[in-house]
Amino acid sequence: MPKYNETTESNTTVTYLTPNDFKIDMGRVGNPTVEVQEAEVTEVDGNRVAYREGRKLFKEVTPGNGSTTFDVINENTGEVITSLTYANFRHVLYGMYVHLATEADT
C-alpha cells in the first residue's frame, strides 16, 4: 500500500559547464590558463528542482603540457569532431578574437 500522498517521480541530475563562468587568460602575465565552473542540475519530471555549483576546473598551459591533446566534441550529438592540443586551443581562441574584432570594425 502506498504511503499517504506518495508520488513516483523520475528525476535526472546532469552536470553542466556554467555558461557564465568560463574564464580564459591568454597569458599576458604568466602562462595562459583556462578555468571553468561546473553546475549540477536536478530535474524532476522536466522541472528544475535543485541547482548546485560543482567543481572548478583549472588548467595552466605551459611549455611542458602544450602538446597535450583533447577531443573537440559536438555538445548536441556527443560526436568527436577533431582533436586539439592545449597550445592550438589558445590559437583558436585568439583567431576567433581577431575575427570578431575585425567584423566589429567593419
Amino acid sitting at position 26: M
What is the average per-residue pLDDT within 59-69?
Answer: 91
The burial class, CB within 10 Å (0-12 / 13-18 / 19+), for 89 is: buried
Split at pLDDT 50, 70, 90, the class of 5 is: very low
Nearest C-alpha neighbor of 86 from the set 24, 37, 30, 16: 24
Nearest C-alpha neighbor of 60 from the set 14, 11, 23: 23
Q: Note the helical H segments in the chain.
A: 86-105
pLDDT at 70 over 90: yes
pLDDT at 81 over 80: yes
Query: What values do phi and psi take at 87, rounded to 5?
Result: -65, -40
What are the boundaries of each domain within the chain? Answer: 1-60, 64-106
What is the average per-residue pLDDT within 67-72?
Answer: 95
What is the average per-residue pLDDT within 2-20?
Answer: 64
